[in-house]
Structure 1
Amino acid sequence: MDEPRRPSSLHGTSHPGKIPGATRKGTETRARIIKGALEALENGGMEALTTRKIAASAGVRLATLHYYFDNKESLLLAVLEDLIADMAEAYQADIPASHDPQERIETVIRSMWRYVQRTRNKQLAQTELTLYALRTQGADWLAARQYNAYIDFYSKLIFDGMGEISEDKKQIGTAVARFMLIGIDGLILQNFALHNDGDTNEGVETLIIATQDLVRRLQAEARLAAG
């Protein structure tokens, strides 16, 4: 594929690359390419993410792959969006409704860790994606896009279903999401490296308590500021 460059138009969360006119075949082909790229990334890291291996995994010709994605970054962005969509679907089925932010934080973190445990290869793929973006000149925007997407995703979960989200709640949600991601990223690396579930489970419990304390403090500060 061509040298790294940011897709010219991302249109919010719309898919990058060339999108054929809403045909079923085109949609299925594009999905196969994304799946092939994700499988290559999960099984062999960035070194395995070559156009030939992706095309072979997807069962398409190289020319077809280049038609849908004219550079590696546009394909990786599509892979990232697919990862987030998979995570969102898993959480939706796992997180019961609650109007208490404290309960939601506990539920979200526990759900998050269950998802991590059953998707080890996906977690490694996301780490590979981050490192690639940070190391590749002109691709650092992809790492920022990745983390901003995760922060936005988790921040919305905290106050989801609680009516209109005020500006204060948005700020609290963003701060709490950043904090949770710091903890989860550390737990993932520790667990995968040391294979010590006991220490990791203790870490999950500590993260829940610390995050609940944080949201209580931020809510108290917001009430004081509002008078």
Structure 2
Amino acid sequence: MSRMAAKDRREELIAAALRVMVRDGVAKATTRAIVGEADMPLGVFHYCFDSREQLLQEVITRFTDSSVTAARKAFEGNGDLASRITKSLSAFWAGVELNPGEHQVSYELTHYALRQAGFEELARRQYQHYLEVHEELLTEAAESAGVRWTVPTPVLARYLNSVLDGVTLCWLVDRDSEQTHEVLRLTGEHLMSLAGKRT
């Protein structure tokens, strides 16, 4: 099996694992279920991954990277601070409604990692990455708009991450998009109220 072939098989197994988890949940994403979804023999799985946990680690990393990329892209471009915040929140929410299953799986994987001995650090890195990106984007937005945040940026990043986490989980339960959009609008307004003139 060539190196490129092994890499391709790894990618197919990661994609298959995500499909199984979205459809059936993390608990049912067994090694056999994943190789069955990928239409591969069981031996290929063990050639590509040391364990199911290693594959789940890859899935978490991919989802985290995807979320971060979407956040960065949404904040790109010109416009005043209010329009950039609105655009970013709207883009984030469009991604949630487009792929609700993946977002549900991300919560399942976070809790799974926290409960598995030796995997707690993976969940911590996942959320630390989110917080770092939020802080970076908030800093960049303030600098480009010529304002300063009136609360410490790390606190603001944690606040924003908490709101987005909470509103996503609540929507996954009740699918109330109308009220969710109102929450996001209020979040944008609150962020703007925390932007002061730079001295």
If the length of structure 2 is used for normalisation, what is the TM-score? 0.81
Structure 2 equivalent of residue 79 of structure 1: 59
Kindly tell me: are residues 66 and 173 of structure 1, through their superposed partners in 2, closer, same or farther at Cα, counting changes over 3 Å?
Answer: farther
Helix, strand or coil at the partner of 2:12: helix
How far apart, in 1, do the equivalents of 2:155 and 2:42 lie? 43
Structure 1 residue aligned with 2:119: 139
> Which structure's residues are more often helix, by fraction?
2
Greater shift in the superposed pair: 48-57 or 130-139: 130-139
Query: Unpaired segments of 5 or more residues in structure 2?
Result: none
Q: Counterpart of 1:154 in structure 2: which amino acid?
A: H
* Unpaired segments ≥5 residues, structure 1: 1-19
1:176 and 2:188 correspond: no
Residues paired across the two proteins, number = 195
Correspondence for 1:190 among 164, 170, 178? 170
Alignment check: 8 A CA contact 1:34 1:79 kept = yes
The answer (yes or no) to whether the contact 1:99–1:159 under 8 Å persists in 2 is: no
The one of 3, 9, 13 equivalent to 1:33 is: 13
1:114 and 2:94 matched:
yes
Alpha-carbon distance, 1:100 to partner: 4.6
Q: Does 1:202 align with 2:179?
A: no
C-alpha separation in 1, matches of 2:69 and 2:118? 31
Q: Secondary structure at the match of 2:50?
A: coil
Two-structure CA RMSD over aligned residues (Å): 3.1
TM-score by length of structure 1 reads 0.72
Match of 1:52 in 2: 32
Look up the equivalent residue of 1:207 and give its one-letter code.
T
Could you report, residue by residue, the CA deviation over 1:93-133 in whole angstroms, capped at 9, with x for unpaired residues? 65541375444333222211111111100110001101111
Name the structure 2 match of 1:156: 136
Distance 1:82 1:192 in 2: 21
Q: CA deviation at 1:162?
A: 8.8
- Post-superposition Cα deviations, 1:177-218, rounded to whole Å, max 9, x if no partner, equal 32111111111122222222221111111111222334x26x
- Percent of aligned positions that are identical: 25
Cα distance in 2 between the residues matched to 1:176 and 1:104: 16
Moved more, 100-109 or 141-150: 100-109
